[in-house]
């Protein structure tokens, strides 16, 4: 069984976002980039399948900002091979349509049984990768997945619905899966192992053609949400803030005394 996990870097959402001069994209210059949290879940699910079946796990990424760190970390966690597809990224945002086209082209020459990636990412303005890729490759795809058990030629997949209901599905392989949550909390990689992976430098770079596909969207402007109804901020020491919060609850009869 061969598994590919597609990884994408997204800006750290904790940071302050600024809009570029054109007003149509975020300014990436001072942002930190991290692995999309759902891609991390997808990687964990793949490693769990590896633990259970001895599958090989390859991690694949485009040339996103600070992506090497994510690839080395994946190796340190137990991925067998890291592949970086270069030549597709421009300066700014790369649409999901473009990403899907690049991956579909590359995957067509490979022979993976399962392709896992995160169910969504914070910048998926033109849609989610897994279903788009499934459609382009004409293989079954399932998203919002919380468990994958793979055997020869087939996988039993747990798909989550609103309120926590779960569907169990059987799909024939190859298939593309959009992972919401792995069966276990994503494992940590020891710093020493990440360093070792870095020193060995085993990221295979593969040049690909720039994507022909585009999102078809015209972004007129980006802006931070209007702050008209923002919370009244409670300031002061933690004791002051605690006093205020308890008083607010007491006014409503939600705290006795």
Partner 1 sequence: MNNDVFVIAEHSDAGLTDATFELLGAARRLADAWGGQVVAVIVGNAGVAGQLGSADVVVTVDAPADYTSEAHERVLAGQVTSRDPRLVLMSMSTQGLDLAAALSATCDRPLVSYVVGLEPDGDAVVATAQIYGGKIMAEVVVESQAAICAVIAGSFPADAGRGAGSPAVEAADAPALDGLRTTFVARHAPDAGDVDITVADILVAVGRGIGGEDDIELVQEFADALGAPVAASRPITDNGWLPKSRQVGKSGLKVKPRAYLMFGISGAPEHLEGMRDAELIIACNTDEQAPVFDVAHYGTTVDLFDLLPELTERASA
Question: Which residues, 123 to 142, sit near partner 1 by CB under 8 A?
Answer: 123-132, 134-136, 139-142
Structure-token match 């030549």, residue found: 87
Angle of helix 37-53 relative to helix 67-77, nearest 10 degrees?
A: 30
Rounded CA separation 216/128 (Å): 15
| SS3 at position 55 | coil
| Stretch near partner 1 under the rule CB under 8 A, chosen from 16-24, 61-69, 74-82, 191-199 | 16-24
Is residue 147 near partner 1 by the rule CB under 8 A?
no
Nearer to partner 1, 71 or 178 (CB): 178
Binding residue (CB under 8 A) for partner 1 from 36, 41, 73, 117: 41
Binding residue (CB under 8 A) for partner 1 from 29, 90, 199, 252: 252
How many residues in the shown chain lie near partner 1 by CB under 8 A? 90
| Token digits of residue 22 | 């054109």
Nearer to partner 1, 91 or 251 (CB): 251
Binding residue (CB under 8 A) for partner 1 from 22, 51, 52, 156: 156
**Binders of partner 1 in range 67-96 (CB under 8 A):** 96
| Token digits of residue 74 | 């994946």
| Token digits of residue 180 | 């919401």
Asked if 82 and 71 touch (Cβ cutoff 8 Å), the reply is yes
Report the nearest approach of partner 1 to the CB of residue 127 (Å).
Answer: 3
Binding residue (CB under 8 A) for partner 1 from 143, 147, 194, 197: 143
Is residue 97 near partner 1 by the rule CB under 8 A?
yes
Asked if 42 and 115 touch (Cβ cutoff 8 Å), the reply is no
Cα four-point dihedral sign 210, 214, 220, 221: negative
| SS3 at position 225 | coil
Asked if 150 and 39 touch (Cβ cutoff 8 Å), the reply is no
| Token digits of residue 248 | 């607010």
Rounded CA separation 72/198 (Å): 6
**Binders of partner 1 in range 164-193 (CB under 8 A):** 164-172, 175, 178, 180-182, 184-185
Nearer to partner 1, 17 or 32 (CB): 17
Nearer to partner 1, 192 or 239 (CB): 239
| Stretch near partner 1 under the rule CB under 8 A, chosen from 55-63, 77-85, 115-123, 204-212 | 115-123
Report the nearest approach of partner 1 to the CB of residue 85 (Å).
Answer: 19
Report the nearest approach of partner 1 to the CB of residue 56 (Å).
Answer: 23
Residue 251 half-sphere exposure toward CB, CA atoms < 13 A: 6
Report the nearest approach of partner 1 to the CB of residue 186 (Å).
Answer: 8
Asked if 223 and 102 touch (Cβ cutoff 8 Å), the reply is no
Nearer to partner 1, 58 or 126 (CB): 126
Rounded CA separation 24/201 (Å): 36
């Amino acid at each position: 069984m061969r598994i590919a996990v597609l990884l994408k870097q997204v800006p750290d959402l904790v940071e302050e976002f600024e809009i570029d001069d054109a007003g149509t994209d975020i300014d990436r210059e001072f942002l930190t980039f991290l692995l999309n949290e759902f891609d991390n879940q997808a990687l964990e699910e793949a490693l769990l399948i590896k633990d259970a079946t001895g599958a090989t796990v390859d991690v694949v990424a485009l040339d996103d900002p600070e992506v090497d760190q994510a690839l080395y970390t994946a190796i340190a966690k137990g991925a067998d091979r890291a592949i970086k597809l270069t030549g597709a990224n421009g300066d700014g945002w790369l649409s999901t349509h473009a990403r899907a086209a690049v991956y579909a082209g590359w995957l067509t020459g490979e022979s993976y049984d399962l392709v896992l990636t995160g169910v969504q990412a914070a910048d998926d303005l033109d849609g989610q990768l897994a279903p788009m890729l499934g459609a382009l490759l004409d293989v079954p795809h399932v998203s919002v997945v919380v468990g994958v058990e793979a055997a020869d030629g087939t996988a039993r997949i747990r798909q989550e619905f609103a309120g926590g209901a779960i569907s169990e599905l059987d799909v024939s392989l190859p298939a593309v899966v959009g992972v919401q949550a792995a069966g276990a909390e994503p494992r940590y990689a020891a710093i020493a192992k990440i360093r070792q992976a870095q020193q060995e430098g085993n990221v295979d770079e593969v040049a690909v053609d720039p994507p022909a596909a585009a999102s078809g969207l015209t972004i007129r402007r980006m802006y931070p949400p209007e702050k008209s109804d923002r919370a009244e901020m409670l300031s002061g020491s933690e004791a002051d803030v605690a006093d205020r919060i308890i008083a607010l609850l007491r006014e409503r009869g939600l705290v006795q005394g």
